Amino acid sequence: MIKRMHVAVNCTDLQKSLAFYRSFFGAEPTKVKDNYAKFELDDPALHFSLNVRPFEKKGVLNHLGFQVNNTEEVLAMGERLRQSGLLLIDEMNTTCCYAVQDKVWVYDPDGNAWEIFYTKED
């Protein structure tokens, strides 16, 4: 049985990334070293790690995201992120990925895009 999804991203500045992800996840990391940090979240079930490594700015990653149950959850998450000082882009009632969605976007210090979305209709 799968316990958690694992995502590892490279970052250029661990302290800036930690500040962002503490606010984004609303949680503290479970491990921090000089060039590594890890968040083990239960809701959503995610093992997320940051690795300080050089990388190409235009890598293969398009974006990351979390699907939620309704528009109210999109708005609540957006408000929490705004209160944490993270800059959001709102896209309500937008057509994306061949569906109508409500979503908010935020970018980490290295430019990785995170989307919180609800699919209203296909």
For the stretch 26-44, pLDDT in tens is: 999 999 999 999 999 999 9
Are 51 and 34 within 8 A, CB to CB? no
For the stretch 5-25, pLDDT in tens is: 999 999 999 999 999 999 999
Mean pLDDT value of segment 41-56 = 92
Are 30 and 38 within 8 A, CB to CB? yes
pTM of the shown model: 0.85
For the stretch 103-113, pLDDT in tens is: 999 999 999 99
Mean pLDDT value of segment 85-100 = 91
Mean pLDDT of the chain: 93
pLDDT of residue 60: 66
Nearest in space to 24 (alpha carbons), one of 85, 101, 95: 85
